[in-house]
A = this chain, B = another copy of it.
Amino acid sequence: MRVDGTMMRTIWPSGHGAVRIIDQTRLPHELVTVELKTLDDAAHAIKAMLVRGAPLIGAAAAYGVALALKANASDESLDHACRVLAATRPTAINLRWALDRARREIGRHMPVDRVPVAWRLAAAICDEDVAANRAIGRHGLALIRDRAREGEPVNILTHCNAGWLAAVDIGTATAPIYAAHDAGIPVHVWVDETRPRNQGASLTAWELGQHGVPHTVIVDNVGGHLMQHGLVDLVIVGSDRTTAQGDVANKIGTYLKALAAQDNDVPFYVALPSPTIDWHLADGVAEIPIEQRDPAEVTHIAGRLADGRVAAVRVTPEGSPAANYAFDVTPARLVTGLITERGICPASREGLHGLFPERREPHAGA
């Protein structure tokens, strides 16, 4: 997408056996890119959330394998890289998906041939993500077009950042929004701040602003009130893991917006490329592991001081503990539909099998 007039992706090979990323912990205050040269660099970038967002985590992991193999292309090194990268974040399934694919597609080659294979695979995963998101944009565009009225923007609420910064480009939840904006349909986005890491206020607002999409930042508490008063036409969020029955793990707080959408008859859609689907799980609330992160992300908030410096301030009393659950699960019953690269389907086993018939169990049936 466009940044200060230049087209960028979130991750790209920098040409001499290294990879470059946007350090998303520095946004929206500074646009800083960082070079990853080793497996440890890649693992750190994922764990410390320099890169985040399920699709981008998958892409970064694939590049992490390539960086590891550059140093040592043995079976042990491939195994080690996959283990180290898999341990960085527990919830996004794209990480495991990318690593399983790397192990399979790279592991069948002789060590001497593996490095170029690994780089090609990472590049392919990136290009596939961009193509999937473009398709999600095409399918989701119809949902926005259906709600367009003369002279008024379509009001879309989103939570966290499932934008191009969460993917390689275009984004998942933002793909229909960018498609509509680029097609001349007036849209306005309510951007949930998304505490504790403020990915909405810091990343989604920034990328929408760069692309010229009208938007308003709100705190996470506001969405229900807006829906009660008819100020939201559509909710679109992303997903970190969607189960085979359509339960959706996404950034903490998504479930509350889904409840409000249901209570006010506002359509609630989840946009996701198929690598985000965990075909092995059914009951998301019971089965998806929910990451707990450092309580300091709750007790301290970073931002820009009046003098321009970026600093963290403590917002809680000394001695008050905090808990930091990073994701929650929205049961399929609250999801109007899933927007995938193959089209839109109900959030159910049947719905997903309709789009992904190859995932039907061979002898399924009553």
**A305 on interface, CB distance cutoff 8 Å:** yes
- Residues from chain B with a CB closer than 8 A to the CB of A251 are 221
List A258-289 residues whose CB lies under 8 Å from chain B.
259-260, 263, 285
Q: Is A216 an interface residue (CB 8 A)?
A: yes
| A206–B290 CB distance below 8 A | no
Q: Determine if A260 and B253 form an interchain contact, defined as CB atoms under 8 angstroms apart.
A: no
Q: A328–B228 contact, CB under 8 A?
A: yes
Query: Is the pair A301, B320 in contact by a Cβ cutoff of 8 Å?
Result: no
Determine if B306 and A303 form an interchain contact, defined as CB atoms under 8 angstroms apart.
no
Instruction: Determine whether A319 belongs to the interface, using a CB cutoff of 8 Å to chain B.
Output: yes
Q: Are A217 and B252 in contact (CB under 8 A)?
A: no
> Known interface pairs A216-B323, A298-B219. Does A259 touch B224 (Cβ–Cβ under 8 Å)?
yes
Of A75-83, A177-185, A195-203, A238-246, which stretch is located at the interface? A195-203
Residues on B with C-beta less than 8 A from A325 are 218, 222, 225-226
**Which of these binds chain B: A2-10, A92-100, A307-315?**
A307-315
Interface residues on A, range: 35 or more
Q: List residues of chain B with CB within 8 A of the CB of A110.
A: none
A300 engages B303 (CB within 8 Å): yes
**Closest beta carbon of chain B to A301's beta carbon, Å:** 5
The reply to whether B315 and A202 contact each other, CB–CB distance below 8 Å, is: yes
Within 8 Å by CB of A255, from B196, B205, B208, B224, lies B224
In A168-222, which residues have CB < 8 Å from any B CB? 191, 193-196, 198, 201-202, 205-206, 208-209, 215-222
Q: Which of B255, B256, B301, B322 contacts A216 (CB 8 A)?
A: B322
When distances are taken between beta carbons in the complex, the residues of chain B under 8 Å from A320 are 28, 191, 201, 205-206, 208-209, 215-217
Q: Tell me, yes or no, whether A24 is within 8 Å of chain B by CB.
A: no
In the assembled complex, 12 residue pairs joining A and B whose CB atoms fall closer than 8 Å, in A order, are: A198-B315, A202-B315, A208-B320, A217-B320, A217-B323, A219-B253, A222-B328, A225-B325, A256-B260, A259-B263, A301-B301, A310-B313
Query: Known contacts A225-B290, A303-B315, A305-B312; can you find 4 more A-B pairs with CB under 8 A?
Result: A205-B317, A215-B320, A220-B221, A224-B256
